Amino acid sequence: MIARRSVAIAALALLGAVLAACGVNNVPTLEERAKASWGEVQNQYQRRADLIPNLVETVKGFAAQEREVLTAVIEARAKASQVKVDASTITDPARFKEFQDAQNQLSGALGRLLVTVERYPDIKSNQNFLALQSQLEGTENRVAVARRDYIQAVQAFNTEIRTFPGVIWARLFWGAKAMESFTATTGAERPPAVKF
C-alpha cells in the first residue's frame, strides 16, 4: 500500500515536472502579458484624451493675451497707414489731429507690446506651442509603443495556442481562444485635429 502511494506521488510529481517543462504554463502567462499590454494601450489612449485638451487650453490662454496685444498693434498700424499725409496735413488742424491720434494709437499699442516683451522676454506662446508640439509627439509615440507591445504580446500568445505543444495545453487545460490584434481604424493614419 505504501509502495503504491509512493509510486502514485512520484508519478504525479513526474507528471507535474513534465507538464511544467513542456510549457503548460506558457498559455496563461502569455495571455496575461497580452491583457496587460492591452491595458497599457487603453492607458495611453486615456492619457492622450486627458492631456491634449488641457495642453491646448493652456496654450490658448497664454496666446490670447499676446494675440490681443498683437491685434491692437496690427489694427493701430492699419489705421495709422490709412491716414493720408501730404504737405497740406501740417496746415489742416483736423487732418493733423487725425494723423497724430492714429500715430498715438500705434505708439500705445507698441508700448503694450514692449511691456509684454519685457515681462516675457521670450513670448510665452512660442514656448507653449513648442511644448505642446513636444507633448503631442511624445503622446503619440507612447500610444504607438503601447500598440506595438500589445501586437507583439498577442502574436506570442496566438502563436503559442496554435503550435505544438501549446495547442494541446490551450485546448485541454485553458480553453484559450485566439486574441484579436490591434487594427487601425479608418482615418487613424491622420493625427488628431488640434484647433486654436
Peptide bond into 165 cis (omega under 30): yes
Judged against a pLDDT cut of 60, whether residue 19 lies above it is answered with no
Residue-wise pLDDT tens digits, 33-91: 988 888 888 888 888 777 777 766 766 666 666 677 667 767 776 776 676 666 566 66
Residue 31 contacts residue 176 (beta carbons within 8 Å): yes
| pLDDT over 80 at 143, yes or no | yes
CA angle 177, 183, 184 (to 5 degrees): 160
What is the spatial distance between Cα 101 and Cα 83, in angstroms, rounded to a whole number?
10
HSE-up (13 A, CA, CB side) for residue 88: 4
pLDDT band at 147 (very low <50, low <70, confident <90, very high): confident
For Cα atoms 50, 54, 66, give the angle at the middle one, nearest 5 degrees. 165
* The pLDDT of residue 10: 76
Highest-confidence segment of 57-61, 103-107, 141-145: 141-145
Does pLDDT of 97 surpass 90? no
Residue with cell 489705421: 79
